[in-house]
Structure 1
């Protein structure tokens, strides 16, 4: 499986515990797992690259284990226990320099693990009900956390005693009622200290820790359903967001307006990722499809059915194959969910139903009475 894993440019984690790889160049999808040990405890909730060369994948499971998958060997090489299932599922996973990794669970416990230690070297509490943890792509020692009634916090893991930035809740509404907060996802805006977040109340906020203001410097809304995921394109000044009803939109971070919508989804969005250098975005969710859209003309480039509900997605930095066409499965050969059923139907004998001739007794009787009346008139 080593040869096939090297060709995979998209990686996904499923509810069934299977790590899935999609090769767009060969138009195929592959499952990487030990099928004899699959269970709901192995559900994949987080993915990240283990090294800058992208030769290793870190896979976070529901049972609190982090597995190392070698893309060169096409197999899992190591399993580490990095949490207690009682802490909740992983909401974030990141790699630090020197073979260290960062984990964050729903309970808010954020830990830093070294390769040569079974105990965390750093542990902090980011508050209850954390929904997401993200690492800064530039400053790897900085991470952001947020959740339900748990506002955005930015942490420096080199000085973890307190957050370097803690967002303040929005001002009360026009009835002087407190506005709830629920951070679902966030991302660090390149070439700045700003952080963009999306919320469970269909809001998008931009925070700037470089200013004294702890409330958003920009806030706007999209749609009327909870936003679940976001990602920043390489071009900048825009953000891609997805919600629970399968709507994906490209929003302008300067004016707070919608610049375009991506169509084709039939279920809630669970993960989004924009490519590091190309204007494309990959999405996955409850409808079990991987889709790759162009951000320039918003067309569907690739679509593949992966048979499992998908939780997370990770793109390789290599160039994706530019698929062509519209609709169905333009770039990737789909796996057919009902292939066996189709064979059964094709072998069955076709029976054609004969059309019955309609009776016209009423019309014939009426015509006979008219003819009788005409004869009487002639006589």
Structure 2
């Protein structure tokens, strides 16, 4: 088993491997034994199990939740969370209880040591379930022909907000609904969603209307993932063709595009305090972009197709790679000093050849000057 290390990004793959990435050392480590993997262990969702981020929870295709301890660098717990149909579409923690939601719409709170687990039917075709970071008892759900709903797990009888579809289009046809991802705006009740019909919509539960208060179209491809920036003023979205953009939620316009992705974007996460965003997808790369200057800071190939990622909330990444670089620079400087202090040895044969070459050049130069003077004199005549 790999030695404990501080990783900045955790990634879950289609093959069931949990990978930890140290961006300072530019190293990726597998924390799952490849020999024991099966197709049913595909990692669909990830989340941290505690505020200290010492536990990473993996929601797998077979309906189990595995707990990985980052300090011990090994899996320590295993939970059976089977119920409903389809794979996990969301995973979270509320008061030491697991909160899961599957594709069929069964949202369940698994209370430890109790057989009376809370169950909510969020409707079929769920694509995403996410807990609110500020108020953990608030949960958002949405999917195919299943518009946005916000639930209060303390009052689970009915959703506290149920979105209403936009008005019919110019042909008076109903606009289809297909939410792919959603996120809560920090320090606000607003929720932003992205759809398979390249729509980015902003909802305000405090508003009298249940329709979106803002709608922006991005590209022409289905949008598959999003993440709100730390200031809550914009959202980063990604499409099934690898296009990424940053959209201003105040003015409803595209701020910039983030380039580099070559495949469908499966997961996006903005850092909670730093202006960076991490992405992963089917092209097998994990990328880290800067939101200030749009530069690609890191690009790491991870061999497997990637489903989800977690970006650590720490904002002071240790400079572990500084020592080896300094040693290399010192060696180069020492070598330069050695070469500079060596005496120059002249070869008699080579110096003789150089002298002959210089004489030839002088003669050629004199010939050229004489020719020019003759030509000039001829012109005067």
Which TM bucket (shorter chain)? 0.7 to 0.9
Computed over aligned residues only, the root mean square deviation of the Cα atoms, in angstroms, reads 1.4
Match of 1:52?
A: 51
Q: State the match for 2:102 in structure 1.
A: 105
The number of equivalent residue pairs is 319
> 1:150–1:37: structure 2 CA closer, same or farther, 3 Å change rule?
same
Separation in structure 2 between the aligned mates of residue 39 and residue 320 of structure 1, nearest angstrom? 37
Q: Does 1:282 align with 2:278?
A: yes
Change (3 A) 1:144 1:247: same
Output the CA distance in 2 between the equivalents of 1:3 and 1:40. Answer: 27
- TM superposition score normalised by structure 2: 0.82
Whole-Å Cα distance in 2 between the matches of residues 241 and 251 of structure 1? 8
Q: Which residue of the partner structure matches residue 28 of structure 1?
A: 27
Structure 1 alignment gaps of length 5 or more:
324-379
Q: Match of 1:345?
A: none
CA deviation vs aligned residue, 1:328-371 (integer Å, no higher than 9, x gap):
xxxxxxxxxxxxxxxxxxxxxxxxxxxxxxxxxxxxxxxxxxxx
- Structure 1 residues 1-379: aligned runs within 5 Å: 1=1, 3-4=3-4, 6-84=5-83, 87-97=85-95, 99-117=96-114, 119=115, 121-319=117-315, 321=317
1:154 aligned counterpart, secondary structure:
strand
Q: Distance in 2 between matches of 1:319 and 1:290?
A: 19
Aligned to 2:334: none
More helix by share: 2
Segments of 5+ residues of structure 2 without an aligned counterpart are 320-381
Scaled by the length of structure 1, the TM-score of the pair is 0.82
| In structure 1, C-alpha distance between the alignment counterparts of 2:135 and 2:3, rounded to whole Å | 33
Q: Is the 8 A contact 1:46 1:93 kept in 2?
A: yes
Secondary structure in structure 2 of the residue aligned to 1:25: coil
